[in-house]
A and B are shown apart, each in its own frame.
Chain A
Amino acid sequence: MEEILRCEKISKVFVVKDFLGINRRKVTALNNVSIRVNKGIDLGVVGESGSGKTTLAKVLLLLVRPDSGSVYYRNNDITGLGDSKLVFFRNKVRIIFQNPYKSLNPRSTIEKTLREAIPSRRVNPEMIETALTQTGLPSDYKNRYPHQMSGGERQRVAIARAIAGNPECVVADEPTGNLDATTEVNILKLLDGLRKNLGLTFVFITHNLKIVVDFCERIVVMYQGNIVEEGSVEQILKSPLHPYTKILWNPSSITSIREEKYKDFDGCVFLARCPYRKKICFEHHPVLKEKEKKHLVSCFLYEQEKMV
């Protein structure tokens, strides 16, 4: 299998200061996260808000530098390279941001935005019009500013920008997260068409399970910066292992309320919400281990031998 992008043991901690800079709080956005993107196999990343999905996307593109761990593009370690040495990579792996209201420069016309996205030296007007029509926008939109467009239209521009470099992989960070249901369907159709026509591989980040099931082949489930489960769509759908994944499939079945009394323990990240917690969960981190063939989970329920 042809590997495009891989990251290994990525950790990222943000230090959040309060207004006066006196109280510092550490937020672990990513903890020891490893993923692998293979050509033609779309990878879904699922997790609730704040689970570190966007941070993972930014680290994969080296827009945010990880505290530790490495990013590999086609088996070359690119973690330490500066922006100026990453140009080749930038054209091959691109990103669609979560919020189309923030991801377009409010002072650039659409034409200018797209012009920058096309790597060739001489950009002629037809190329820009092609990029627009490819995403279903009329070509006279090129003279508009972002504020003159709807959210869905903006997201189409962001998609046009991402594919303009003719990339092999696109990291889509909740591309429909800020859109209404019908627009969402249209955008997903567009992405699906582009994937087929251009042979793109997607890393599809979302909190909406229905989308990943339709769209992806492998799924990574994240919780508070940790990967708690990874497997094929089939495996995750039919036989979810981790308690959190079960909650995701059936939100009403288990309480989603975090119990405050558990928050000070340095054990499993899911401890506070887990109905199956055991003694060992309070003291140790479960590690991500292969349970079945290519189906990984990090939970002590599946580590029989270790249990006392």
Chain B
Amino acid sequence: MRRLLQRLKNHSRPAYFSLWFLLVFYFVSFFADILAPYHFDQQFRNKPYHPPTKIHFFDSGGNFHIRPFVYNTVIDDPVFKTYKQDYSKIYPLKFFVSGKERRIFFFFKTKRYLFGVDQPAGIFLFGTDNYGRDIFSRLLYGGRISLSISLIGVFISFSLGMITGGIAGYFGGIIDQILMRLVEILMVFPSFYLMLSLRAMFPLNLSSIQVYLLIVMILSLIGWAGLARIIRGMVLSIKEEDYVLAARSLGLPHWKILLFHIFPNTFSYSITAITISVPGYIIGEAALSLLGLGIQEPYPSWGNILSSTIGNLRVLGDAPWLLLAGIFIFVVLINFNLLGDALRNVLDPKNW
């Protein structure tokens, strides 16, 4: 593993940076409960479409404060939602503030968050939405959902694809025929319609955890077929390689040959393929959310944060910070692609 990291670093600095960037992203969103200043459904009814809060070091009198602070804001124009700052009182930025209890992963309770300011002022790094909810906090919480959907989804389709493709390619014959026809049935449907029709098979009013699991299932069910198909092809050729015949000539059981001799030699393809496919899951969830079939409000996902802005032209002009969810998706996508491209070379023993 360490050697692999070193190789990645030598091979491509940008990809190495992408890896760390993504790790930080995942880390941050998994610890959203500590890092986010507000809970995802906390509303500031008097501050809808609030632009990103300005953070100050100098007060109105020109005095310097070592601790950054914000001013409270009041609505200036209720129609166009413009705000003006109230200079009468400063609200310093506080670290490790305490507040309502939140649960990290349902287990650890925490009452302290990384930062915040006293009420009634608010610190909205990326502004607020139509209900006055902090976009920054929602993006962190939403990242937890979107990124974990993609990880679990990729894990499931990777396992399904490897197992099905591996068995079909290795054993061949009637097993191969049956499995591949199944895969083809899945593949003839355009994936978007397949996704919709699968979603349509289930009722709309599901609990949020049910919707979450359902989306993971749907997305991974769509993703595995293509991988299985390609892995089968690779296994077909790898199983004729001398080193696999050598393993067979030692009398190793089939599962050992598949697991230790065949699968590892598909990695330079399969790991790359799944790395590059991760953003597809995020986008898939976003597409479902866009149609109102994804994660339901008030729970945030990058998809439904984005979808609340699309179709509302005024928002695009007046509250562009709402599009940050799209930028997050985009950034994650680029980094996964960079990483995937580099992994292809790094994982290939020819380049060791």
Contacts and interface: CB of A to CB of B under 8 A. Distances in A.
B242 to A, nearest CB: 4
Contacts of B264: 105, 107-108
A104 B261 CA distance: 10
A86 B256 CA distance: 16
Contacts of B267: 107
Contacts of B243: 102-106
A90 B250 contact: yes
B84 interface: no
A87 B261 CA distance: 18
A119 B261 contact: no
Nearest to A117: B250
Interface in A85-125: 86-87, 89-91, 94-95, 97-99, 102-108, 112, 116-117, 119
Interface string A62-103: 010000000000000000000110110111001101110011
Given A103-B243, A108-B260, A116 B250 contact: yes
Contacts of B250: 90, 94, 116-117, 161, 165
Contacts of A84: 253-254
B352 A90 contact: no
A83 B257 CA distance: 12
B82 interface: no
Interface residues of A, number: 31
Interface in B214-242: 241-242
A97 B242 contact: yes
A57 to B, nearest CB: 10
Nearest to B262: A105
B265 A158 contact: no
Interface string B243-258: 1111111111110100
Most buried by A among B249, B253, B267, B349: B249
A99 B242 contact: yes
A105 B244 CA distance: 8
Most buried by B among A95, A104, A105: A105
A61 B246 CA distance: 10
A102 B252 contact: no
A137 B241 CA distance: 25
Most buried by B among A63, A89, A158: A63
A271 to B, nearest CB: 32
Q: Is the interface of B mostly helix, strand, loop or mixed?
A: helix
A141 interface: no
A76 B289 CA distance: 66
A166 to B, nearest CB: 12
Given A107-B264, A145-B352, A58 B245 contact: yes
Contact of B246 (A87, A103, A165): A103
A63 B252 CA distance: 13
B251 A95 contact: no
A17 interface: no
Contacts of A94: 249-250
Nearest to B243: A105
Contacts of A189: none
Contacts of A105: 243-244, 246-247, 260-261, 264-265
A147 interface: yes
B7 to A, nearest CB: 13
Contacts of B265: 105-107
A87 B246 CA distance: 13
Interface in B54-88: none
B10 to A, nearest CB: 16
Contacts of A107: 264-265, 267, 349
A86 B251 contact: yes
Contacts of A98: 242
Contact of A119 (B247, B248, B249, B251): B251
20 contacts: A63-B245, A63-B248, A83-B248, A84-B253, A89-B251, A90-B251, A94-B250, A95-B245, A95-B249, A97-B242, A99-B242, A103-B246, A105-B260, A105-B264, A106-B265, A107-B349, A116-B252, A116-B256, A117-B250, A161-B246
Given A108-B261, A161-B246, 19 more contacts: A58-B245, A61-B249, A63-B248, A83-B254, A91-B251, A94-B250, A95-B249, A97-B245, A97-B246, A102-B243, A103-B242, A105-B243, A105-B247, A106-B265, A107-B349, A116-B252, A116-B260, A117-B250, A158-B246
10 tightest A-B CB contacts, nearest first: A90-B251, A106-B349, A87-B251, A102-B242, A103-B242, A107-B264, A105-B243, A63-B245, A97-B242, A95-B249
Interface of B: 241-254, 256, 260-261, 264-265, 267, 349, 352
